[in-house]
Amino acid sequence: MSNYAGITSEGLRSRATIPNKENNPVADDTKLQQEEEEKAHPDVTPSDAVSPVNEGANAAPQFAAPPNVTAPVNKGTDSKSEAPSQGRRLKNFSHTLLIHTVNRASPLSKESPEQDFRGFFNLSMLLLAVSNLRLIIENYMKYGFLLSLPFSGIAWLDWGWTIVSLTLQALNILTAYTLESYAKTDPSPDRPTRYRVKLLHVINITLTITLPTLICWTRITHPAISSISLFSATILFLKLVSYALVCADMRREAALKMFPPRQEEPHARDAKLRGEEANVKGDEMVYPENITLGNIMYFVCAPTLVYQPVYPRTKRFRRRFFVKRLMEFSLGIAAMYLLGAQYAAPTLRNSFDAVKDVHLTRMAERILKLSLISVVMWLLMFWCFFHCWLNMIAEVLRFGDRRFYLPWWNAKDVSEYWRLWNTPVYNWGKRHVYLPLIINHKVQGMAATLVVFTISALLHELLIGIPTHTINGWAFSGMMAQIPLVLGTQLLDRLRERFRNQTDGKIFDTIGNYIFWISFTIVGQPTCVLIYYYHYVARQKAMGL
């Protein structure tokens, strides 16, 4: 009944009839009566001016009501003015109201402008919550409460060697600064100083990654605490490479008295904050003014892997923003620990025999079950690190460029995902590996891409294999397997171009996005985790641990 509440004698203003004004005497008489009424009462405006049912181009023309429909009596006028007219409200509802006046599509059709699926989204979220609630109850009934204090199983000796590793990394930073301070005293490109500094930089950068790796492999047994030390060393390794290369170029330009304008990356100003003016110029700090301890320490702490003498800065520290990110980071870490200890650990333990016996069906079931936990933990890791942690550091340092990631979840293929999801690493690889190979050494684009993927694959194997004490090449192979997958998904680009006239191309974008999610998060990550867990447990059992 509520659907028809708006159709009343009071709410009905006009109705449409036969679209023939010339042969409609009723309409002419009504029009004359309305004109006389307006002359008699110029201060009264008709309450129901004729209006179309639909303002679109296909709306049917509207005309006056027939004379058999009576109008309400206006008590403030005489009997002559009580004649029915179009300017009065209708007293009774007429069943001749037009319903179908224009061409319209069903709401679920592609042609419909009413593409609003919020209800379906709410339903999917509700089903997801109910499904996960069932898994939580099932997990508790089967395993009980498995949580313990975080880091309670880490030996004190592991903490001690981690402190040693971090101390050595601090010495590597001071060494890099000392080398650049020495190099600026003799900036001539033809002097032996240039080659000595370059050699010493290579040695220092090599020790930055090798010493923590040896400590983690030989002294630290717990994978979590080992990952902290090695992850820090890997970041510092990439930063010192950038610092040495940029300072070398600036030193050569200063020696030759050539100061070319600094070129910007094509997308360096994308999504600039409204009201924030660009406050970084390429020539704002000239070599050797940038060779200071404060400058290198700011770069080491800044949430970027590429060195610049100056960076865009925000005007003030936002305390509320920082506290909000800190709370999100804490909740995300707690959720990751809960999922890992309560759900991932039992699933991995129950998968050991399936991997050992190479039971393919059982392994497939374990991988699919692990994929649900893996993708949630991976998304939490992304949120905690790239959004919360890096934004917290940037807020403390007032670092202005917060493009730590781009919308990788909409990636149309695997190559686009690698360009979007980790912007700091992508910028480092593009600036210091890819472009120098293409521009300076005239290497083909595919060969330069292969070099970048090889470096990334080695670092992935290092970050996964060393903490788990399992160097088996699976992480390296998984990264290198991305290259044929990238080439395969490029077929979608050709199909998109070929069928551009027949389709809008979104179908191929959707297919590419599905390929990315399936290959990377549904199959790739869980399989890699399962294999490394098997080798880690097998090694622990062999050592009697």
Tell me the catalytic residues. Answer: 460
Best CA proximity match to 49, nearest among 88, 19, 9: 88
Tokens coding 236: 């510092």
C-alpha separations of 88 from 39, 70, 79, 151, 456 in Å: 15, 9, 15, 81, 79
What dihedral do alpha carbons 263, 266, 272, 277 form, nearest 10°? 20
d(CA 266, CA 80): 79
Helix (H, G, I), strand (E, B) or coil at 531: helix
Ramachandran region, residue 359 (left: φ > 0; alpha: ψ -120 to 50; beta: rest): beta
Residue 79 DSSP one-character state: G
- Give the single-character DSSP code of 518: I
Phi, psi of 114 (to 5 degrees): -90, 60
The two three-digit tokens of residue 232, written as one number = 């820090």
Alpha-carbon distance 366 to 360, whole Å? 10
Closest CA to 264 of 248, 250, 247, 278: 278
d(CA 408, CA 521): 13
User: E strand or H helix at 46, and its extent?
Assistant: none
Interatomic CA distance for residues 280 and 313, integer angstroms: 9
355 contacts 514 by C-beta, under 8 angstroms: no
Q: What is the DSSP string of 374-421?
A: HHHHHHHHHIIIIIIIHHHHHHHHTB----S---GGG-SSHHHHHHHS
Integer angstrom CA distances of residue 433 from 83, 151, 233: 89, 38, 20
Q: CA–CA separation, 494 vs 499, rounded Å?
A: 9
Rounded-to-integer distance, Cα 226 and Cα 205, Å: 20
End-to-end CA distance of the chain: 73
**Residues 71 and 91 sit within 8 Å (Cβ to Cβ):** yes
